[in-house]
Amino acid sequence: MKKILVTGGAGMIGSNLVKKLVDEGHEVGVVDNLWRGKLDYLNSNNGEPVIDLDTNFYNLDLSIPNICDSLIAKFDYVYHLADIVAGIDYVFANQGSLFRQNNLINSNIIDSVRKSSKKLKGFIYVGTACSFPLTRQNSLDVIPLREEELYPALPESAYGWSKLMGQYETELLEKETEIPTCTLMFHNVYGSPCDYGERSQVIPALIRKAINYPTEEFNVWGSGEQGRAFIHVDDVVNGLVLALEKGWGHGHIQLGPSVCTSIKQIAESVVKISGKDINIFYDVTKPEGDKARSADFSKAKSILGWEPKVDLEEGLKKQYKWILDQIENEK
């Protein structure tokens, strides 16, 4: 049994990770300020929380310095997933505040780890493919990204820069303290439970629009030609668990498929799953973000024994059903 703290543990990825770790017999603590996460996400299939919320859940704002100082010493390992992220409309409309908040969150938790009275056995930082250079993501002619291409740095968004700064500070932590670290860089994660409201990311937003159509128009931001390497949350959690045993001392490792799927393909798949006659409108006045990307996951495969397994179409069907159930329960 390991004592593990998961920051952002009530979010989509975090809650699934917490459940997996608990299933494996570990003692798990969760830090989350519930900006996007929900306590309900930590419930098992029988509706009961998988952790004791009175003793192992901490509603903390990690942008406040020193707020985790006393907490870190209770654990042996930390998964740091907490950050400010949302759909592309939110990210590009709030770049300054998002950059500042994420830098504070990352620096504060790493500082608490550095100062802890008990030396951690390991620190896992979650980064993003958004930190890769714009010059490698500004063409629809996609060549899978490789880890060694991260520098010279030129992320397109403040979000990508903020996550890269946390990644760099994680490297400094390992050099200064000899605490083993691992950075996993995620491509576009989808699945449930998830935020499907106004701040949601592209897949849950499109599913919500399809479910609500025609009351809500089925608008797609951008041309739809832009593409991403979509990866199911189950695959991501598998990678996070493998990193706990095999990821130490290998720098940054990206998790994502080698296939780039266009937003147009996602939109058409969602419409097909809905069974509705939906008119798709592409709003080219809205930002698209990076043009396209996919992952060369050979490093993850060789070090972690990881590769994506969840079929995109099946994953979309599962997420559609989950969001449909939530919306119907709200009525």
The residues with which 186 forms a beta bridge, in sequence order, are: 128, 255
Kindly state the percentage of the chain with pLDDT values over 70: 100
Assign 289 a pLDDT band (cuts: 50, 70, 90). Answer: confident
pLDDT for res 330 = 87
Q: Contact, 30 vs 42, CB < 8 A?
A: yes
Whether 54 shows a pLDDT value over 90: the answer reads: yes
Q: How many residues in total does the chain contain?
A: 331
Assign 87 a pLDDT band (cuts: 50, 70, 90). Answer: confident
Cβ contacts of 140-146, under 8 Å, gap ≥ 24: 140/225, 140/226, 140/227, 140/291, 140/292, 142/227, 142/260, 142/292, 142/293, 142/294, 144/258, 144/294, 144/295, 144/296, 144/297, 145/254, 145/293, 145/294, 145/295, 145/296, 146/296, 146/299
pLDDT for res 296 = 98
Could you tell me which of 210, 190, 185 has the C-alpha nearest to residue 202?
190
Contacts for 33 with CB less than 8 Å, ≥ 6 apart: 59, 60, 61, 62
- What's the CATH fold of domain 3-191+230-257+294-310? Rossmann fold (3.40.50)
pLDDT for res 89 = 84
The 10 Å CB-count burial string (b at 16+, else e) for 250-265 is bbbbbbbbeebbbbbe
Q: Contact, 142 vs 293, CB < 8 A?
A: yes
Locate the domains of the chain by residue range: 3-191+230-257+294-310
Assign 171 a pLDDT band (cuts: 50, 70, 90). Answer: very high
Q: Contact, 231 vs 188, CB < 8 A?
A: yes
State the Cα–Cα distance between residues 28 and 99, nearest whole angstrom: 29
> pLDDT tens digit string along 105-136?
999 999 999 999 899 999 999 999 999 999 99
> pLDDT tens digit string along 186-226?
999 999 999 998 889 999 999 999 999 999 999 999 999 99
Whether 278 shows a pLDDT value over 90: the answer reads: yes
- The residue assigned the tokens 């609500």 is 212
> pLDDT tens digit string along 234-269?
999 999 999 999 999 999 999 999 999 999 999 999
Pairing mode of beta strands 219-221, 252-255: unpaired
Kindly state the percentage of the chain with pLDDT values over 90: 93
Torsion sign, CA atoms 58, 72, 182, 62: positive
Amino acid type, 313? E
Give the three-state DSSP class for 52. Answer: coil
Q: Which two tokens stand for residue 294?
A: 């996919």
Assign 79 a pLDDT band (cuts: 50, 70, 90). Answer: very high
